[in-house]
Structure 1
Amino acid sequence: MLGRQIWASMRQGLSRGLSRNMKGKKVDIAGIYPPVTTPFTATAEVDYGKLEENLNKLGTFPFRGFVIQGSTGEFPFLTSSERLEVVSRARQAIPKDKLLIAGSGCESTQATVEMTVSMAQVGADAVMVVTPCYYRGRMSSAALIHHYTKVADLSPIPVVLYSVPANTGLDLPVDAVVTLSQHPNIIGIKDSGGDVTKIGLIVHKTSKQDFQVLAGSVGFLLASYAVGAVGGICGLANVLGAQVCQLERLCLTGQWEAAQMLQHRLIEPNTAVTRRFGIPGLKKTMDWFGYYGGPCRAPLQELSPTEEEALRLDFSNNGWL
C-alpha cells in the first residue's frame, strides 16, 4: 500500500497530468487484446521469464495491445507487489506502439485508487477496473458511480470499466455505465456478461460520448461488432490469436458470412477455456499451442485426465488441433 503519501501526491501533483490526459479525450482502445495469463513455476512463484517469452510470441499478431492482470491473469491470487511487478515486466516486453491496459481493481475505493496510480507509474497506458463485489448487496448504481468517479478523478491514465458477472455475481447496470460514460477520464467498458442486447443498449445510450465498448469474450464477438462494439478482450486470443484477429478483420470489412463461419468454429473452444474449464483449461491449451501455460495458483487445480480429453475434443472437433 502506498498510503498517505500517494493520496498527498495525487492531490498535489496529478492535476496537471490528468488535465493534459483529459484535454485531447483520450485513448482509442478499438481492437483485439489477449488478457495475458500469469505464468507460475512448479513452486507457485511468478515466472517472469516465461511471461516475457509468451508476450514475445503473442507480439507477432496484430493485437491492439495487451491486458495485464485481468481475471485471466489470476490477479486475486497475487500480492500487490506481484501485480505491479508483472505489469512492469510486461511493459518492458511489449512494444511501445501496443497499449498496455492493467487491471487495477480492488475491493475498496482507496485501494483501487492507490493501485491505479501505481499501475500508471510502472507503465500502464490505461487501467481496467473490475466492479467491487464482496458487499454486492450494497453495490447499487449510486455506490458504483461514486466508486468509479473517485477512481477516474484521481487516475493519471484513462479508466476502462469492467463488468464480469460470472466471477463477481454483479452486473454493472446500464444506467451506471451511461452516467460514467460522461466522465472525461472513463473511456470505455469491457463487458463480459454475454448479453448482446445490453451491449447494444450501452452503445446506443453512450453514442454521444467518446466511449467505446469491448466484448469480454470471443464467443459473442461477432454479435458485439454487429451492435456497435469496437473490439474485444478475449481469453482465447492467448492460443488462437491469428483466428481472433481474422474474425475482427472479417467483421470490420463486412464479410459477415465468412465471419459467421469462423465465429461458429470458435464458440466451443472459447467456452471450454472460459466457462467450462476456466484458466486451468486455458493454460493447458497454451501448452499445446507452443506457449507456456503451466500451473495455476491454488486453490485452482489442474485438469483431470477426463477433463483434459474433453478440452482436447472441443478444439479438435472444430479443426484447431
Structure 2
Amino acid sequence: MQCARAWGPLRPLLTTRSLLRAWSRGRLDLSGIYPPIATPFTAEQDVDYQQLEQNLLKHAKIPFKGLVVQGSNGEYPYLTEEERVEVVRAVRRSLPEGKLLMAGSGCESTRATVELTGKMAAAGADAVLVVTPCFYKGKMDGRALIHHFTKVADSSPVPVVLYSVPANTGLELPLEAVVELSQHPNILGLKDSGGDITRMGLIVHKTKAQDFQVLAGSAGFLMAAYCVGAVGGVCALANVLGQELCDLERLCQSGRWEEARLLQQRLIEPNAAVTRKLGVPALKRAMEWFGFHGGACRSPLQPLTEAETQQLRKDFSTNGWL
C-alpha cells in the first residue's frame, strides 16, 4: 500500500473506475503496436476534437494493442496541461473496449509530473509514458533520473513506462538507471527511441528477471528490436501505415523472418522521413495522403516546404506505399 499512501493528495483526481482499473488489473501486458497519435488542430490552432474522433474511428479498424496519447507526435510540449488531459479524456471515451491507453505525463519537474500523472489516470489512462526531464540535461545523471522516476512511480495509481528519446531531449536514459528502475514494482517497461539495438538487447537481458517490457520507439528498427527481445513498438509511422506495422509484428512473432525482412526494408525510408528527417509536419502531411486528418502543426512548428513535400512523397512512393 506504499503507492496508495504516496498519492493520497491526488485522490480527488481519481475516478472510481481508474482506481478499480489500477488495483484489479495486475501487471499489464504491453506487447503489440501503438501509434503515438497526432493532435489535429483547427485553423485557429485549437484542438479539433471532431477530427480527432474521426481519426480514432479509423484507428479502431487496425489491430493495434492500444494508443499512445500526448507523446512526442501529439505535440505535447505545445499543449497546455488542461488540453493534454482533455485530449486523453476524449480518446478514452472513443477507445474500444480492451485497447490500452498510454498517456504522456512527463514534465520537467518531478512534482509537476506526479500531479499530471494523477490527472492522466483520472482521465482514463491505463499507463503513463514518462519522458526524461531534459532542460538541465547536464545535471540529469543516473542519480537524478532514478530519483525522479522512482518518485513518480511511487505516486502513480497506474503503471509507469519510461521514455528515452535522445533525438528530442539530447539525453539518453542510462542503461544502469534502466536496470535499477526495472526493479520498481510500478515501473512496467521502457519505450526506447534511441535506435541502439545492442543497448536494447542488453536491457532486455539484464531486466528479464523483473519481467520488464521493452518497446521499440520507431518503425525503422522494429524487426531488429523484436529479434533482441522487444515486445512491441510505439511507432510514429503507425499513424499512416498502421496495418503494415501490425503485419510486421505478426511476421516477427510467427518466425517468418524473410517476409518480415522485406517488409521492414520498405518501411525504413518513409519512417525516417516522418521522424528524424522531416518530423511531425511530415507525419501530418502523410496522414492526409492516407485518409486521416493531419493538418497543420501548432506554432512554432511550420508546414513543409514544397521541396520537403516532394521528398516526402518520393520516400513513400519509391517504396510502393503511394
The alpha-carbon deviation at position 26 of structure 1 amounts to 1.0
Residue of structure 2 in register with 1:276 after alignment: 277
SS at match of 2:208: coil
User: How many residue pairs end up in the alignment?
Assistant: 315
Residue of structure 2 in register with 1:157 after alignment: 158
Change (3 A) 1:12 1:281: closer
Normalised to the residue count of structure 2, the TM-score between the two structures is: 0.94
Q: Answer yes or no: is 1:121 the counterpart of 2:141.
A: no
CA contact (8 A) 2:7 2:155 kept: no
Residue of structure 2 in register with 1:246 after alignment: 247
Residue of structure 1 in register with 2:213 after alignment: 212
CA contact (8 A) 1:18 1:155 kept: no
CA contact (8 A) 1:222 1:251 kept: yes
Name stretches of at least 5 consecutive residues in structure 2 with no aligned partner: 1-5
The alpha-carbon deviation at position 232 of structure 1 amounts to 0.1
Identity of aligned residues (%): 64
Change (3 A) 1:24 1:120: closer
Normalised to the residue count of structure 1, the TM-score between the two structures is: 0.95
Residue of structure 2 in register with 1:49 after alignment: 50
Name stretches of at least 5 consecutive residues in structure 1 with no aligned partner: 1-5
Residue of structure 2 in register with 1:79 after alignment: 80
SS at match of 1:36: coil
Change (3 A) 1:8 1:25: closer
SS at match of 1:151: helix
In the TM superposition, 1:150-299 aligns within 5 A as 150-299=151-300
Change (3 A) 1:156 1:298: same
The alpha-carbon deviation at position 210 of structure 1 amounts to 2.0
Change (3 A) 1:317 1:12: closer
CA contact (8 A) 2:40 2:295 kept: yes
* Counterpart residue type for residue 264 of structure 2: Q
SS at match of 2:297: coil
CA contact (8 A) 2:22 2:126 kept: no
Whole-Å Cα distance in 2 between the matches of residues 284 and 110 of structure 1? 36
SS at match of 1:183: coil
Change (3 A) 1:12 1:26: same
Instruction: Please list the CA deviations of residues 249-305 of structure 1 after superposition, one character each: whole Å capped at 9, or x if unmatched.
Output: 000000000000000000000000001110000000000000000000011000011
CA RMSD of aligned residues (A): 2.0
Change (3 A) 1:201 1:236: same
The alpha-carbon deviation at position 240 of structure 1 amounts to 0.4
CA contact (8 A) 2:7 2:157 kept: no
Instruction: Please list the CA deviations of residues 137-182 of structure 1 after superposition, one character each: whole Å capped at 9, or x if unmatched.
Output: 0001011000000000000000000000000000000100000000
Change (3 A) 1:11 1:311: closer
* Counterpart residue type for residue 108 of structure 1: S
Whole-Å Cα distance in 2 between the matches of residues 253 and 165 of structure 1? 31
Whole-Å Cα distance in 2 between the matches of residues 300 and 224 of structure 1? 30
The alpha-carbon deviation at position 96 of structure 1 amounts to 2.2
Change (3 A) 1:213 1:7: closer
Whole-Å Cα distance in 2 between the matches of residues 23 and 284 of structure 1? 41
In the TM superposition, 1:22-171 aligns within 5 A as 25-171=26-172
* Counterpart residue type for residue 219 of structure 1: G
Instruction: Please list the CA deviations of residues 177-232 of structure 1 after superposition, one character each: whole Å capped at 9, or x if unmatched.
Output: 00000000000000000000010000000010021000000100000000000000
Change (3 A) 1:101 1:244: same
Whole-Å Cα distance in 2 between the matches of residues 186 and 300 of structure 1? 33
The alpha-carbon deviation at position 25 of structure 1 amounts to 4.3
